[in-house]
């Protein structure tokens, strides 16, 4: 059929029908995908109030078991690390007499800045966001990973 | 009174109108009737009417596809029975698993049969794939059936993996945490796909329910459909191919 020929009635109806079915199928697919994405989640909040800057003098390492995070006081500031091991996701713990963060599962060790001192952990512990709210409290968000070395000056 | 013999009884049975309405071909042992047994049955007709005797020997295919299929049968039977005692919710799932192990009669046997059957199915499916590869049975005209087989392997692995979370013990929780973190590594779609898979950002009750639905409905139905196509295509592509004859 050359382009000057008018389209046959049957071809037009076929194309319209197939096109309508395809549009309906695509719409149904998108609606289903949207249906499968939960709109309300009952997950524990990732933000928590760690305290005030006065609670974190230099050298303080405080472990928050529920939020799986360390809040650490350093000279002139505060920063936070996740306590979830970067190897296979076990919860690490801080050994104050050795000043290291150690994983009980496979023996990974990190310094208090999150750097790997001993394997098998493949990556340093991620630094997470610490902010001050209007009242001056330290608010930590375990879901917000920030570049290592970002210390909140207080 | 004459005592009824088995032959007389089965003869009477085959003459009843109910039996004749189900099975239409005759009972004489002829080649035609033997063919019709297979051809007129929905379930048997996926198989060829005739096979060469040598293709039935162990060394021809090592029966690996058959072993995989037998595992599937065992897993459906045991899985359906386990479903009668299992609630996909937290913390009920773990308690149900313990109840199956320690309280329910034969529960431990069925659960272990399901677990070992699953391990064997994955192993047999891989062995079957290797056997087909080394016997060059993936070549034309069987190239499409190879592709169906690859999708079946993925469905098998999907079933194995979704079943791993259902006991809701430490192994399950961390295994699925690690596995779904790997999903995250896929470019672009990794993060949204993980969100859809888990129904959230962490392995939670939503994830348990989703894995349960995938494990008990979506993947088994996919498996039944694809296995039917797979076995039917074996017949359509000229039967099973063992070691190629031209190998010196």
SS3 assignment for B96-163: HHHHHHHCCCCHHHHHHHHHHHHHHHHHHHHHHHHHHHHCCCCCCCCHHHHHHHHHHHHHHHHHHHHH
Greater confidence (A4 vs A37) lies with A37
Q: With 70 as the cut, is the pLDDT of residue B248 above it?
A: no
**pLDDT digit string (tens) for B166-190?**
999 988 988 888 888 888 888 999 9
> What is the chain A residue with the closest CA to B177?
A89
Measure in Å the smallest separation between the Cα of A13 and chain B Cα atoms: 33
- Asked whether the beta carbons of B197 and B9 are under 8 A apart, the reply is no
Q: Closest approach of chain A CAs to the CA of B202, in angstroms?
A: 8
DSSP class of residue B168?
-
Specify the pLDDT at position A2: 58
Q: Which residues of B are less than 8 Å from A42 in CB distance?
A: 204
Compute the average pLDDT of residues B147-170: 96
From the list A33, A89, A143, the residue facing B177 with the nearest CB is: A89
% of chain B surpassing 90 pLDDT: 63
Per residue in A52-62, pLDDT (tens digit) is 888 888 888 99
Residue of B146, B144, B141 whose CA lies nearest to B128: B146
Q: What integer pLDDT is reported at residue B174 of this predicted model? A: 84
Structure confidence at residue B120 as a pLDDT band (50, 70, 90): very high
Residues of B in contact with A145 (CB under 8 A): none
pLDDT tens for each residue of A95-107? 989 999 999 888 8
pLDDT score of B226 more than 70: yes
How many angstroms away from the CA of B203 is the closest CA of chain A?
Answer: 10
CA distance B7 to chain A (A): 57
Across the interface, of B181, B200, B202, the residue whose CB is closest to A38 is B200
Q: What is the dihedral of CA A139, A143, A149, A151, to 10 degrees?
A: -10
Could you tell me what percent of chain A has a pLDDT over 90? 47
Q: pLDDT band at residue A1, thresholds of 50, 70 and 90?
A: low
Q: Do A43 and B196 touch (CB under 8 A)?
A: no
Q: Which residues of B touch A43 (CB under 8 A)?
A: 200-202, 204
Give the span between the Cα atoms of A47 and B152, in whole angstroms.
43
Chain A residues at the B interface, defined by Cβ less than 8 Å, are: 33, 36-38, 41-43, 88-90, 143
pLDDT at B2: 66
- Please enumerate residues of B whose Cβ is less than 8 A from a Cβ of A: 174, 177-178, 181, 195-196, 199-202, 204, 206
Share of chain B above pLDDT 70, in %: 98
Contacts of B174 in chain A (CB under 8 A): 88-90
> What mean pLDDT comes out for the span B225-231?
96
**Smallest CA–CA distance from A33 into chain B, residue:** B196
d(C-alpha A128, C-alpha A143), whole Å: 7
Phi, psi of B167 (to 5 degrees): -65, -20
Q: For chain A, first and last CA: distance in Å?
A: 77
How close A59 comes to chain B (CA, Å)?
A: 32
**B174 to A89: CB separation less than 8 angstroms, yes or no:** yes
Answer yes or no: is pLDDT of A42 > 90: no
Asked whether this complex has an ipTM greater than 0.95, the answer is: no
Q: Give the Å distances, CA to CA, from A51 to A64, A79, A136, A137.
A: 11, 12, 9, 6
Phi-psi label, residue B135: left if phi above 0, alpha if psi -120 to 50, beta otherwise: alpha
Evaluate if residue B158 carries a pLDDT over 60.
Answer: yes
Distance (Å, whole) CA A111 – CA B18: 81
Pull the structure tokens for residue B110.
Answer: 């069925």
The pLDDT tens digits of the residues spanning B188-215 come to: 999 999 999 999 988 899 999 999 999 9
Could you tell me how many CB contacts below 8 A there are between chain A and chain B?
24
Residue B114: per-residue pLDDT:
97
Average pLDDT, chain B: 91
d(CA A35, CA A33): 5
- For the segment B50-66, the average pLDDT, to the nearest whole number, is 90
Chain B partners within 8 Å of A33 (Cβ):
196
Predicted local confidence at residue B3, as pLDDT: 72
């Amino acid at each position: 059929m050359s382009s000057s020929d008018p389209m046959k009635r049957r071809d037009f109806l076929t194309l319209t029908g197939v096109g309508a079915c395809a549009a309906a199928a695509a719409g149904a697919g998108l609606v289903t995908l949207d249906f499968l994405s939960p709109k309300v989640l009952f997950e524990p909040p990732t933000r928590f109030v760690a305290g005030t800057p006065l609670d974190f003098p230099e050298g303080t390492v405080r472990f928050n078991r529920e939020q799986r995070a360390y809040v650490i006081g350093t000279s002139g500031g505060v920063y936070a690390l996740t306590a979830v091991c970067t190897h296979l996701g076990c919860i690490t713990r801080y050994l104050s007499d050795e000043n290291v963060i150690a994983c009980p599962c496979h023996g990974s060790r990190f310094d208090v800045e999150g750097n790997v001192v001993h394997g098998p952990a493949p990556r340093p512990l991620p630094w997470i966001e610490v902010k001050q709210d209007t009242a001056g409290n330290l608010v930590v968000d375990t879901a917000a990973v920030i570049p290592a070395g970002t210390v909140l000056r207080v | 009174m004459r005592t009824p013999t088995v032959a007389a009884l089965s003869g009477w049975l085959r003459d009843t109108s109910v039996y004749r309405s189900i099975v239409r071909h005759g009972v004489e042992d002829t080649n035609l009737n033997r063919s019709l047994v297979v051809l007129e049955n929905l379930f048997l007709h996926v198989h060829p009417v005739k096979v060469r005797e040598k293709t039935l020997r162990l060394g021809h295919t090592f029966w690996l596809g058959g072993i995989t299929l037998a595992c599937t049968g065992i897993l459906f039977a045991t899985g359906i029975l386990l479903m009668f005692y299992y609630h996909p919710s937290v913390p009920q799932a773990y308690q149900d698993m313990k109840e199956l192990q320690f309280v329910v009669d034969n529960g431990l046997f069925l659960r272990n049969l399901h677990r070992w059957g699953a391990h064997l199915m994955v192993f047999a499916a891989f062995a079957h794939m290797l056997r087909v590869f080394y016997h060059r049975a993936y070549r034309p005209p069987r190239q499409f059936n190879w592709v169906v087989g690859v999708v079946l392997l993925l469905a098998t692995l999907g079933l194995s993996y979704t079943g791993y979370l259902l006991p809701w013990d430490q192994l399950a929780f961390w295994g699925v945490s690690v596995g779904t973190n790997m999903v995250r590594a896929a470019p672009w779609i990794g993060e949204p796909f993980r969100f859809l898979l888990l129904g959230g950002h962490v392995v939670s009750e939503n994830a348990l329910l989703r894995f349960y639905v995938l494990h008990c409905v979506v993947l088994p139905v996919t498996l039944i459909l694809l296995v039917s196509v797979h076995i039917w295509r074996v017949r359509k592509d000229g039967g099973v191919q063992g070691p190629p004859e031209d190998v010196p």
